[in-house]
Structure 1
Amino acid sequence: MKTLKITLKAIALTALIGATFLPFGVQADVTLSTSNDPNAFLGAQVSQLLTHERDSVMAIETDTVAQLLANFKPVTKPKPPMQVEYSKQFLAEQPAASGGENWECLTQALYFEARGESVKGQFAVAEVILNRASSSKFPDSVCDVINQGTGKKYQCQFTYTCDGRAEVINEKKAWTRVGKIARLMLDGAPRRLTDGATHYHTKAVNPRWARAFPRTASIGVHYFYRMPRA
């Protein structure tokens, strides 16, 4: 083993390596092994201290990360608006539609109220129904909106629900087409045709209420109106 031979005063030797105290002024030859290098000992102590500090910092950081994760709320990007074209070709490219009770009610309303209208006109009628469902002045579901007043003379909101005729689906293509429109509208298609209209009537009639309601659109054989604002 490589050694270093150095001469130290006894008091210095006592301070550094804990050797037996020698009388003041007495010198001694001392051989120190490099394996007991005081620098190495001090280095080990520093290393332990740094390790302790590192573990403490890591513990603090771990707690901080855990707290951040507990309070983390992912940011979701808003969905882009649905792209809709008011054409038969666009509807032909859409998948066959189906749905629950509200889809069934909306499809029936479009079929019996507007199947002879243009695609744009059918979307407009769907807007009116959904605008009503979104308004506090009407029932809050599509089916309840459509069936409001049904069975009461002159009080039904949609003629086909109280005209005394059986609702029979004879035109399968028309049913498929309006079913797709109902699905698109219930899934969030934009309501941009009628400017918030909640009422409409055919151009063949002139109901009294229409005189007090602002007209918002004229599409196909229908006029569309919004309720007067207070």
Structure 2
Amino acid sequence: MKAKFKALALGALVGASVFAFSAQADVTFSSSNDPNVANDRVARLLELERKSIKAIEADTVAKLLANFKPAPKPTPPVRVQYTRDFLAGLPVATGGKDLECLTQALYFEARGESVKGQFAVAEVILNRVSSSKFPNTVCGVINQGTGKKYQCQFTYTCDGHAEVVNEKKAWDRLTKVAKLMLKGAPRNLTGGATHYHTTAVNPRWAKTFPRTAAIGVHYFYRMPKA
């Protein structure tokens, strides 16, 4: 009986030892409880989050850059001197239909005027282009009414005479005047005038239109306010 009891006690002791060792092994070697593994997981999650944020930021920046339009550089003002020497120092002027129409008008309307007077006539034409009461192109303004003799806005276009350019130097100089005006030279000579006539005539409309300037052989006017 004593021998049997000793055997049972020894078996219980061995079993408890094995159970204790097994429990210890579960706790010690389980990766789920290893703080280093947990830290690695957190580090990986943080790295994934960082990469995701960087990707979003890069995409946002790319979209912003794709839609970004830098502000246009301000156009420097066109500086003008009303002298032949100033015009002579400029390069040969070239351009399209507007330049040709404006040069032609200056040639036949004002080539005998001073340079200042030529700029003043160009101002009137461009003031008309800017006005809703006239055509909105240079050529349209100049040729308004052309086709009916002496019923046009600029006499040379409807006087029945062919427009022949015989003074090449004057044409080249006036092309430079036209170019400067089309590029945005200031219109400060005629006070916003839309009409003019030579001092040799006295049209009826001049009695009701406010006179704004007198330059060379031309008087300048703007339309009366309604």
* TM-score bracket relative to the smaller structure: 0.7 to 0.9
Please show how residues 44-193 of structure 1 align to structure 2 within 5 Å: 44-193=40-189
Q: Tell me which residue corresponds to 2:9.
A: none
Moved more, 180-189 or 73-82: 73-82
* TM-score normalised according to structure 1 size: 0.80
How big is each residue's C-alpha offset from its partner over 1:72-98, in whole Å with a ceiling of 9 and x where there is no partner?
332223212211111111111111012
Cα distance in 2 for partners of 1:123, 1:143 equals 17
Match of 1:225 among 205, 221, 224: 221
CA deviations 1:156-189 (Å, max 9, x no partner) are 1111112222222111111110011111111222
1:176 corresponds to which letter in structure 2? D
Q: Structure 2: which 5+ residue stretches go unaligned?
A: 1-19
Q: Is the 8 A contact 2:149 2:159 kept in 1?
A: no
The normalised TM-score by structure 2 is: 0.82
Q: Which residue of 1 aligns with 2:204?
A: 208
SS in 2 for 1:223: strand
Give structure 1 regions of 4+ aligned residues with deviation exceeding 4 angstroms: 9-13
For the residue of structure 2 that corresponds to 1:194, the secondary structure is coil
Q: Whole-Å Cα distance in 2 between the matches of residues 81 and 12 of structure 1?
A: 89
Residue identity (%): 69
Which has the larger helix fraction?
2
Of Structure 1 and Structure 2, the greater strand share is in 1
Q: For the residues of structure 1 that align with 2:130 and 2:183, how far apart are their CA atoms? A: 14
Name 1:15's counterpart in structure 2. Answer: 27
Show CA shifts across 1:99-155 (max 9, x none). 222211111110111001111110110111111112111112111211111231331
Alignment partners' CA distance in 2, 1:16 and 1:74: 64
SS for the counterpart of 2:214 is strand
Q: Measure the CA separation in 2 of the matches of 1:102 and 1:71.
A: 35
Counterpart CA distance in 2 for 1:129 and 1:12 is: 103
Aligned partner of 1:194 in structure 2 is: 190
How far 1:44 moved relative to its partner? 2.7
| CA–CA distance in structure 2, aligned partners of residues 204 and 47 of structure 1 | 95
TM-aligned CA deviation for residue 42 of structure 1: 4.3
What is the Cα-based RMSD across aligned positions, in Å? Answer: 2.1
Q: How many residues align?
A: 204
CA distance in 2, matches of 1:56, 1:178: 65
**How many angstroms does 1:39 deviate by?**
6.0
